[in-house]
Amino acid sequence: MSIAAYQPLCERLGLDPDALPYTPNWSAAPDFLELIVDHVLARKPAVIVECGSGMTTLMLARCCALNGGGHVYSLENGADYAANTRAAIARHGLAQHSTVIHAPLRPYTLDGREYQWYDVGQLTIGAIDMLVIDGPPGFIQKHSRYPALPLLRDRLADDCAIFMDDAARPDEQEIVEMWLVAVPPPAHEYIHTERGCSVLRQQPHKAAPR
């Protein structure tokens, strides 16, 4: 994906294309960004949490500015990537709408398996209206992004929308299968973007018939 592919989104959002936090092969693709941008502009979430900072952080923060409210809390395990994203946010004057949290990975045990995931000790925020999952990187471990839902589930607003990038990959497809056994299971929609996008929403718990 070349940086030129982001030009239409930059024009739409009034962003300077020369100041993007672009990382070849690692930045979210424009079609995934368009999905999350459309959601933020339409639904105006107040609290957005994302896993894995960069291009997504900038686009989400710019949408919050256009909405006149909202804040992106970005969990980033790499200190250098966190600094790069913060610098891009500052270049665009969006610091009011974004907090990039350097959250090193730490061990968590879930269903008897150990995972490395972001230390969310510093994430002291209200209910999460939107969750964007684009990290930690898959090379860290199998099912790297699985902990997002079990660890944040209790902090999601009832109508929270969850967007996971790279959902065309077998590892992410298995993660969605693992999430869908939760009680109650979230509703899942797969969107055919270049790398695949899974959108999940919490469903109200239906009482068992008597």
Ligand X SMILES: C[S@@+](CC[C@H](N)C(=O)[O-])C[C@H]1O[C@@H](n2cnc3c(N)ncnc32)[C@H](O)[C@@H]1O
Residues in a beta bridge with 23: none
**Of 45 and 78, which has the nearer Cβ to ligand X?**
78
The Cα–Cα gap between 134 and 3 comes to 19
**Of 119 and 182, which has the nearer Cβ to ligand X?**
119
Query: Minimal distance in Å, beta carbon 52 to ligand X?
Result: 3
Residue whose Cβ sits closest to ligand X: 54
**Of 9 and 160, which has the nearer Cβ to ligand X?**
9
Query: Minimal distance in Å, beta carbon 114 to ligand X?
Result: 20
Query: Minimal distance in Å, beta carbon 134 to ligand X?
Result: 4
Residues that bind ligand X (CB under 6 A): 23, 26-28, 52-56, 76-78, 81, 134-135, 137
Query: Minimal distance in Å, beta carbon 167 to ligand X?
Result: 13
The Cα–Cα gap between 159 and 208 comes to 22
Q: What are phi and psi of 74, to 5 degrees?
A: -110, 120
The Cα–Cα gap between 107 and 110 comes to 10
**Of 82 and 156, which has the nearer Cβ to ligand X?**
82
Residues in a beta bridge with 190: 198
The Cα–Cα gap between 134 and 54 comes to 10
